[in-house]
Amino acid sequence: MAGTAPRQGQTGIDEKTVGWRRLLSHPLVYETVQYLVGAKRGLRILLERHIRPVAGQSILDIGCGPAEIVKFLPDVRYCGVDHSASYIDRARRAFGDRATFHLGDVGDLPLDRLGHFDIAIAIGVLHHINDQTAQDMLRAARDALAPNGRLVTADPCYFPGQNPLTRFIISKDRGQHVRAIDAYLDLVRRVFPDAQRHHIRGLLPFPHSVCVIEASRDG
């Protein structure tokens, strides 16, 4: 039976990492699973509708994983941060010629080395971390943003009247902090008062629900 164990080297992160889920810690396995579930299509939708990157901008990717998103970006200054050494190593091998990567906790970003960014993204991060670590991450993201900079997050969510099958599928996520859709909004608004949420279905080819939040540093 699968249990819950926090991943090492990161405070405040709670994931199911035993049983078959342990395999997802390996970048190639993770990328293969993402391909099989159609995550790349969902990533393109997030980019087009919500992140909306423009050539010449700077993007901070908090919890970047193997950084597959780099494949779909225009000519931007991209910096990825993740606590997994294997993910960062994979990202550097694949995209080190067009991006920079830092190994570190999402709640303790090395802001003195990163500089400031037009956009900060945290895709699939909040549902892996507790409220305190989320607050640390959000404050760090705010401090990393340039004036008028934007934050975009995306995470699986629960909502009233949700299809039982959708709720069941989401409950099997590695992340142990999947929240109700408005709980994400309340969490982000503690740091970004102007945050707005979007409820998206259809990003993946099976029943699923995602809460996307957009906010600005100066809102």
Domain ranges for the chain: 19-216
| pLDDT tens readout for residues 161-177 | 888 888 888 888 788 99
User: What's the confidence (pLDDT) of residue 39?
Assistant: 64
Category of 56 on φ-ψ map: left (φ > 0), alpha (ψ -120 to 50) or beta: left
Taking the whole predicted model, whether its pTM rises above 0.75 is answered as yes
| pLDDT tens readout for residues 27-80 | 444 444 454 345 677 888 899 999 999 999 999 999 999 999 999 999 999 999
Are 191 and 217 contacting, i.e. CB atoms less than 8 angstroms apart?
A: no
| pLDDT tens readout for residues 132-145 | 999 999 999 999 99
What does residue 12 show for φ and ψ, rounded to 5 degrees?
80, 0
CATH of domain 19-216: 3.40.50.150
User: What's the confidence (pLDDT) of residue 112?
Assistant: 82
Pick the residue with more confidence: 31 or 191?
191
| pLDDT tens readout for residues 79-121 | 999 988 998 999 999 999 999 999 998 888 888 888 899 999 9
Task: Name residue 101's amino acid.
Answer: F
